[in-house]
Amino acid sequence: MGAAFAGTVSKNLLEGPHVHRNLSTPQLVEAAIARGEASLASNGALVALTGARTGRSPRDKFLVKDELTESRVDWGKVNQPFSPDRFAALLERVERHMQERDRYVLDLYAGADPHYRLPISVVAEYAWHALFVKQLFVRPDAAELAEHVAEFTVIAAPEFEAVPERDGTTSSTFIITDFKRRIVLIGGTKYAGEMKKSIFGVMNYLLPERDVFPMHCSANIGADGQTALFFGLSGTGKTTLSADPNRRLIGDDEHGWGERGVFNFEGGCYAKCVDLSEQKEPQIYHAIRFGAVLENVVIDPRTGEPDYEDIRYTENTRAAYPVEFIENAVVPGMGGQPANVLFLAADAFGVLPPIARLTPDQAMYHFLSGYTAKLAGTEAGLGSEPVPEFSTCFASPFLPLAPKVYAAMLGERLRQYRAQCWLVNTGWTGGVFGVGKRMSLPHTRALVTAALDGSLADAEYTTEQAFGLSIPTSCPGVPPELLNPRNAWPDKATYDRQAIALAARFEANFARFDAPAAVRAAGPHARR
């Protein structure tokens, strides 16, 4: 991603008899099993447990604060500062720890587009971590490997635990990015997703300077060559709706949008496995085979078969596999300029319409809001009512820069390439969660299909009053009474009260943003 930059990683970490560099998939599988790190499931996938840390550790994530980052990073609870001196001392201790052990080094890329990709190296203490990154990032061919010079290095030392009083961390776990040294330092956690998401944060920092908009979204492409983007938080249906058998998958999670179009940051997928079945998600189910990695999935000791319904370790069970394991994947993961952008929200309050057409200002408002709703019982401490969740730009934990930077890039691209943005409610209709009913998946698919194939472009539209959204009055395959959410509620006065309450929550959340007046005015108003 520019001039070659080898970073400041000690050569002792990358060379020597304990270094195993760019091993093949079978070699890494064999090493992980021989070392007792993992086992094989009956479908051929490598199965590993991550112990106490079964997900990301956001409170243990830091950025080194120095002359490069001091004025550029949006410092706060997400981007916690770490001193350069303490990082240097911790790095030295981690390197000493790693030099005494076998190390698995992988040379890879972040970014499918050769014009924007970032050459990276990962130094892993575990063989199964090395296999994980091999499948998740973009794998160079032999010619590319011969010329590969890492511009960023990830050091993953799960067996090294920090001492907070000595090291300046909040716990024994740490995930620290130093943009001057171009190193990500990870320790005290076996959860492999930290490696993937750390590089996503790096791309979110580097790419805006190159006029590339980094996005936490999935992307696919239709037979007509039209690219679509799907943004949405967990539980909104992003994976389900983007994995369309009639469209080809570019990628399932991280992308860039530049003057050459859209490109996947990754060479693989990191899919949730809870309740996975061949019937519900056949593409993902069949992608889990030899070469894939299963995290925290329970294996039947008699048959060796994965039990995706058993969540004794965590509900956050995961599968990592190369994107080409998906039958209709686009390799390399690149597409043209998007024609449609979809924001997915599982609105448990039953207020948002099934689909709405957004102006660029409305799109920037809802992008900054990043709304969905958590349901009672899904997280400890939640009561009987739904709880609104706002994740800035649908990617709050991974944004090193101010949110307005990313929102402005979205607005510019929607206008420049005349892409249409849609807000899609995959949540509830006819009442709140527990009273109304969940949107029918066939109806949601029909709405998404109509948006992507252009059918909704010719529909008549009306403005609903609660959020000022433009909604179609008809759509093939969808009952007209569902399109206006107020009409779907038996008690219209109850809907009005619920709509005002949700609009007020949007307003309260949005008050923290530095947004242009036109964008602020494009949102809901509690007294509209």
Is 18 marked active-site?
no
Is 318 marked active-site?
yes
Task: Report which DSSP code applies to 472.
Answer: E
Contact 242, 274 (CB under 8 A): no
Catalytic residue among 252, 253, 347, 361: 253
Give CA 19 to chain center in angstroms: 31
Q: What is the CA radius of gyration of the chain?
A: 23
Catalytic residue among 103, 129, 216, 413: 216
Strands 334-335 and 338-345, by their bridges, are unpaired
Catalytic residue among 50, 53, 56, 103: 56
Catalytic residue among 169, 189, 227, 239: 239
Is 56 marked active-site?
yes
Determine the Cα–Cα distance for residues 18 and 103; give it in Å rounded to an integer.
6
Encode burial over 174-205: b for 16+ CB neighbours within 10 A, e otherwise.
Answer: bbbbbbebbbbbbbbbbbbbbbbbbbbbbbbb
Q: List beta partners, residue 177.
A: 63, 184
Is 197 marked active-site?
yes
Is 97 marked active-site?
no
Catalytic residue among 39, 170, 234, 240: 234
Is 520 marked active-site?
no
The count of residues in the chain is: 528
Catalytic residue among 65, 238, 248, 413: 238
Strands 183-187 and 174-178, by their bridges, are antiparallel
Determine the Cα–Cα distance for residues 199 and 265; give it in Å rounded to an integer.
9
Determine the Cα–Cα distance for residues 296 and 287; give it in Å rounded to an integer.
17
- Cα–Cα distances (Å) from 368 to 374, 409, 520, in that order, read 18, 12, 10
Most distant CA atoms of the chain, gap in Å = 74
DSSP reduced 3-state for 394:
helix
Determine the Cα–Cα distance for residues 105 and 368; give it in Å rounded to an integer.
38
Q: What string of DSSP letters covers 177-240? A: EETTTTEEEEES---THHHHHHHHHHHHHHGGGGT-EEEE-EEEE-TTS-EEEEEE-TTSSHHH
Catalytic residue among 65, 139, 197, 413: 197
Query: Cis peptide before 84, with omega less than 30 degrees from 0?
Result: no
Determine the Cα–Cα distance for residues 369 and 208; give it in Å rounded to an integer.
20
Determine the Cα–Cα distance for residues 236 and 349; give it in Å rounded to an integer.
14
Is 253 marked active-site?
yes
Encode burial over 367-380: b for 16+ CB neighbours within 10 A, e otherwise.
Answer: bbbbbbbbbeeeee
Determine the Cα–Cα distance for residues 273 and 283; give it in Å rounded to an integer.
12
Nearest to 367 by CA among 397, 337, 395: 395
Catalytic residue among 53, 139, 318, 413: 318
Determine the Cα–Cα distance for residues 489 and 373; give it in Å rounded to an integer.
19
Angle (nearest 5°) at CA 515 between 511 and 521? 75
* Residue numbers annotated as active site: 56, 197, 216, 234, 238-239, 253, 318
